[in-house]
Amino acid sequence: MIAPILPGATLGVLGSGQLGRMFAIAARRMGYRVHTLSPDQDTPTGQIADVEIQASYDDLDAVRRFASAVSVVTFEFENVPAATAEAAAEHAPVRPAGTILHTTQHRQREKTFLERAGFPVTPFRKVETAEELAKAVRDLDCPSILKTADFGYDGKGQARIESAHGAQAAWESIGLAPAVLEQFIRFEREVSVIAARGADGSCVDWGVIENRHRHHILDVSIAPARVSPGIAKRAREIAHQVLETLGVIGVLCVEFFLEPDGRLLINELAPRPHNSGHLTVDANATSQFEQQLRAVCGLPLGSTELLRPAAMANLLGDLWADGEPDWSAALACAPAKLHLYGKLEPRPGRKMGHLTVLAQDTEAALETVLQARKTLTKGRPTKVQC
């Protein structure tokens, strides 16, 4: 039995982006102190944390000093090197464990784990040589998707292969790095299940969330997803099984492709809170960030009850192209909740914040959040029926 880490203790976060920021907000509200470590300064997490340490993840002595000053270490994105988690574990428990990070931060290891454990996964092949690439294309046919094994997110490190003749050029476009080739899936929709597993082995989830992407970046999430009860039940069961098989203590997201025949295929895992779960801050009794805190501190998990149907729309740096977005216009839509991440420089494609709307049904929530986002852009009508 793990002794609980109680309010008043200090929690360590490896990484300093918006996920760490929202975790830190939940932790501060519950009476914890927060330290964060990353290579950057004046970060989204650092603006909320008690202590912000600027150090490279490869500076293992700095990581050890950081871990020695906290009661538990967690991470807010999976590209923290596994060696960093191992160094931190010398001085404080790391949750989820560094072994889980090692598996899920590398597509070849992640997909191999899922396949060997019997989970439904997108058909794939490992690619490390030109010969392996040519054979993978023959096996999976075209179109197919080539993805780097390491450090890919929001569509980065990916290339679509339309024919065998374009395979080598696609591999060169991602730097000839070790990769996986995935069969192209003509899915009906993308959905996710974010689930948490406590130190006592108990699991909870937030139901199935429907996701829409634009240019490979999550654009809108809708809860609950518009899927049948049977599909929702199966997706939740798979997510719980993944957490239990990995032995996660913390939060993990399972991203799925839903095929037209109702079959679910796992696309990716994320061993942390997830962009599609940002709406849980407003829409659920316990957010994914508070649940992450409860899990890694060995506290009882909270209720994940959905208070009302909800939709979330990401706010990317593109909205700043013609100046500061019109926040007053969006907030004039009474149901809209604005969350900004404290990032200092808006850039195209960069996630700067999000809007969440609760409504009587998913269609109304989706329509309203999209209308609210439209009002942010200068030169467009600023009055909207909400």
Render pLDDT for 182-196 as a digit per residue (tens, 0 to 9): 999 999 999 999 999
Q: How far is CA 312 from CA 92, 103, 362, in A?
A: 35, 29, 11
Least confident of 80-94, 264-278, 290-304, 370-384: 370-384
Report the pLDDT value the prediction gives residue 378, as an integer from 0 to 100.
Answer: 56
CA 107 to chain centre: 15
| CATH architecture for the domain at 189-374 | 2-Layer Sandwich (3.30)
With a pLDDT cut of 90, the percent of the chain lying above it is: 90
DSSP, res 154: T
Q: How far apart are CA 97 and CA 241, in angstroms?
A: 17
Q: Where in the chain is the domain with CATH 3.40.50.20?
A: 10-94
Q: Give me the sheet containing 124-127, strands edge to edge.
A: 124-127, 179-183, 144-148, 158-161
In the chain, CATH 3.30.1490.20 covers: 123-183
CA 157, CA 338: separation in Å to the nearest integer?
31
Residue 202 per-residue DSSP state: -
Quote the DSSP letter at residue 31. T
What single-letter DSSP state applies at residue 207?
E
What order do you get walking across the sheet with 337-340 strand by strand?
264-270, 250-258, 189-197, 203-214, 217-223, 310-316, 351-358, 337-340
pLDDT band at 212, cuts 50/70/90?
very high
Residues of each domain in the chain carrying CATH 3.30.470.20: 189-374
pLDDT band at 382; cut points 50, 70, 90: very low
Confidence of residue 152 (pLDDT cuts 50, 70, 90): low
Q: Which of 304, 326, 301 is nearest to 315 (CA)?
A: 326
Instruction: Please give the mean pLDDT across all residues of the chain.
Output: 94
Interatomic CA distance for residues 107 and 150, integer angstroms: 7
Strand stretches in the chain, DSSP E: 10-14, 33-38, 51-54, 72-75, 124-127, 144-148, 158-161, 179-183, 189-197, 203-214, 217-223, 250-258, 264-270, 310-316, 337-340, 351-358
What are the CA-CA distances from residue 290 to residues 79, 168, 351 (Å)? 22, 45, 21
CB distance 386 to 335 below 8 Å: yes
Q: What is the arithmetic mean of pLDDT over 37-46? A: 97
Angstrom distance (rounded) from CA 324 to CA 296? 38
CATH superfamily ID and name for 123-183: ATP-grasp fold, A domain (3.30.1490.20)
As separate numbers, helices (DSSP H) first and strands (DSSP E) second, the chain gives: 12, 16
Confidence of residue 334 (pLDDT cuts 50, 70, 90): confident
> What is the model's pLDDT at position 82?
86
Length of the chain: 386
Distance between CA atoms of residues 81 and 84, nearest Å: 5
User: Residues 345-359: what's their mean pLDDT?
Assistant: 96
pLDDT at 310: 98
Closest CA to 312 of 271, 351, 268: 351
pLDDT computed for residue 150 by the predictor = 83
Which CATH number among 3.40.50.1820, 3.30.110.30, 3.40.50.20, 3.40.720.10 corresponds to the domain 10-94?
3.40.50.20
Mean pLDDT of the region 166-176: 92
Query: Percentage of the chain surpassing pLDDT 70?
Result: 96
DSSP letter (8 states) at residue 360: S
| Residue 361 near residue 367 (C-beta atoms within 8 A) | no
pLDDT tens per residue across span 8-29: 999 999 999 999 999 999 999 9
First to last CA, the chain: 49
pLDDT for res 89: 97
Q: Dihedral of the CA atoms 159, 276, 21, 367 (nearest 10)?
A: 110
| This prediction's pTM | 0.94
State the DSSP code for 30: T
Average pLDDT in the 216-228 region?
96
Instruction: Determine phi and psi for 7, rounding to 5 degrees.
Output: -50, 140
> What digits encode the pLDDT tens for the residues 78-132?
888 989 999 999 999 999 999 999 999 999 999 999 999 999 999 999 999 999 9
Q: At 383, which helix (H) or strand (E)?
A: none
